[in-house]
Amino acid sequence: MKALFLAVFILIFSTVFCFKVGFIYIGPVEDCGWTYAHEFGRQYIEMMINDLETEYYENVSGGKESADKLRKLAENGCDLIFATSYDYMDSVLEVATEYPDVIFMHCSGNKRSENVGTYFGRMYQADFLAGLVAGKTSKTNLIGYVAPVKIPEVVRGVNAFAIGVSKANDNAKVLLEWIGDWTDKEKEVAATEKLIKHGVDVVAHGMDTATVNITADKFGIWSIGYNYDMSKYAFDTHLTAPVWYWGQLYLDIVESVIHGTWKSEALWPGIDSGIVGLAPLNSFVSSETRRLIEKYRIDMILERFHVFEGPLRNQLGEVKIKKGAVPDDHYLLTIDWLVENIEDDEGMSERVPHIH
C-alpha cells in the first residue's frame, strides 16, 4: 500500500513539476536591449521554479522561420511558448492550431485564440517619465528620437515620450527619425548624427540595441536608452532608460499554466506592477527633476494622472483627444497619429542643419 502511495505521489509530483517553457527571440540574447530583457526574464523563472526546463531560439525573423521554430519548440515538449516579438503574430496563430495542447503567449500582439494569449506592459508610462528627464535636461529645446517601425506600439511610446517632454518644457520639440527596422546599426548611426547636426542636445530611442547611445556619446550628447539599462555603453552621457522587468510576469504566467488557471486574455500591466520603470538616473539629473518623476509616477499608480488624457492635438493642430477625455485601451493599442510637438522627416527638412 505504501509503495502504491509513493508511486502515485511521484507521478503527481513529476506531472506538476516536469514543465518545459520555450522562447523565441527576434535578436541576440546579448543585445543588452529588447531580447536581453526577455532573456533575463527566462533566467528569472528558471531560478524561481525548481525542475523547470527552458529552451530558446535567438535571432528568429518573422514569417516561415518563426513558424518553424515554434513547431520545433512544441515538438521538443514545451508546454508553454513565449513568442517575444510583434513580428511573430501570424506564425503564432498558425502553429497554435496545430498544437492545441500547448499554450502560446504572444508579446505585443492583439490576436488571440483558445490556446493563444497576449501580453505586454504599459511601457508608455515609463516613456513619459523619460520624456520628463529629456525635457528638463535640454538647453536647445530640441530633443531627438530614433524610432524603429511605424506600428501602434512604437507610435504610442514616441507620443508618450513627447508628452513627457512637453510637461517638463513646453518650448521643446521632439525631432523624429524612423529607421524601418528594430535594429540597423548603419541607419541608427546616420539618424543619430543627423539629429545632432540639427541641434538636438538629448537623443532618445526605441531601438533594440545601444547603437544610438554609443553614437551620441561620441559627440558628448546626452542620451536615453531603451528596454534595458544601457549606461555601460555611454556611462557619462546616459541619462536613464525606460526598462522592462519581465521576470515576475513570466513567473505568474508559468504558474497559472501549471496550476490550470491560465486563460486566453490580453495582459497589459502598468507601472504599478513593476513590469516597467526607469533605469537608474545619471547623477547629473537634478533633485527637482527627480521629484517631478516621482510625483508623476505616484499619480499614475493612483490613477490621478493618465498620460493620454486630453486635450491632445496631432501634428496638424487638430484635436484628437478632447479635454478631460481618457482614451480606452483599444484606442491606445491602435493609435496611428503623432502629437503636435513632434517633427518627423518632413518637418525636419525645413530646418537648417546646425553644425555641432
Q: What digits encode the pLDDT tens for the residues 168-181?
A: 999 999 999 999 99
209 and 290: one domain? yes
316 and 169: one domain? yes
Task: Supply the DSSP string of 59-92, one letter for each residue.
Answer: S--TTHHHHHHHHHHHHTT-SEEEE-SGGGHHHH
**Is residue 128 over pLDDT 90?**
yes
Per-residue pLDDT band for 18 (boundaries 50, 70, 90) equals: confident
Are 59 and 108 spatial neighbours (Cβ–Cβ below 8 Å)?
no
**Is residue 16 over pLDDT 60?**
no
Contact partners, residue 252, CB within 8 Å, separation at least 6: none
Per-residue pLDDT band for 346 (boundaries 50, 70, 90) equals: low
CATH label of the domain that carries residue 79? 3.40.50.2300
Has residue 355 been placed in a domain? Answer: no
Residue 293 backbone phi and psi in degrees, to 5: -60, -50
Q: Which domain holds residue 18?
A: 2-119+246-273
Are 216 and 234 spatial neighbours (Cβ–Cβ below 8 Å)?
yes
**Is residue 61 over pLDDT 80?**
yes
**Which three three-digit cell numbers place residue 155?**
507610435
203 and 285: one domain? yes
237 and 250: one domain? no
26 and 161: one domain? no
**Is residue 7 over pLDDT 60?**
no
What's this model's pTM, rounded to 2 decimal places?
Answer: 0.89
Are 103 and 135 spatial neighbours (Cβ–Cβ below 8 Å)?
no
What is the total count of domains within the chain?
A: 2
Alpha-carbon distance of 152 to 207, in angstroms, equals: 15
Has residue 175 been placed in a domain? Answer: yes
Furthest C-alpha separation in the chain:
87
Report the percent of the chain where pLDDT is more than 70. 92
14 and 79: one domain? yes
Has residue 92 been placed in a domain? Answer: yes
188 and 144: one domain? yes
189 and 65: one domain? no
Q: What digits encode the pLDDT tens for the residues 149-160?
A: 999 999 999 999
Per-residue pLDDT band for 9 (boundaries 50, 70, 90) equals: very low
Q: Which of 218, 262, 221, 257 is nearest to 239 (CA)?
A: 221
Residue 204 backbone phi and psi in degrees, to 5: -115, 175
